[in-house]
Amino acid sequence: MRTLQKILLDHKQHLTLPSEKLIQQLLRKLDNDSYLPDRKNAQKLHLLSTNEVDNFLLNCLAKYQLCNELYDLSNHDIGSLRAVWVVLSFSKNPEVIQYFDDLKLALPRFSAKV
């Protein structure tokens, strides 16, 4: 099982029942290795975005980042990351917006040499 997906699975029991059911829907989608959050699937993932789920996903992303730093994981859980980012992209939560701003700042800047 992929790292972020395992973190989601291991910590979902701390949620209220409605939110746990939403996370379970996300996990069922992630069980399919070929799952891609394209435009059609993004509309379905939009339904999973609630305040509690968004905060839960942010906490799981922080745990995932810590795992990467501690164990120097070279293979990222791209499929799960994409799906979680799509769910979070519908959020108006200031913490989520700050997360994406911080993520943009962490990206390397490439300059085109002509």
Which pTM value belongs to this model? Answer: 0.85
Strongest mean pLDDT among 26-35, 83-92, 101-110: 83-92
Average pLDDT, the chain: 87
Cβ contact 57:88 at 8 Å: yes
- pLDDT (tens digit per residue) in 2-37: 789 999 999 999 999 999 999 999 999 988 877 888
pLDDT at residue 111 greater than cutoff 80? no
**What does the domain layout of the chain look like in residue ranges?**
3-105
Alpha carbons 104 and 57: distance in angstroms, whole number: 18
Angle CA 16–58–110, to nearest 5 = 160
Cβ contact 79:2 at 8 Å: yes
Q: How much is the pLDDT for 73?
A: 62
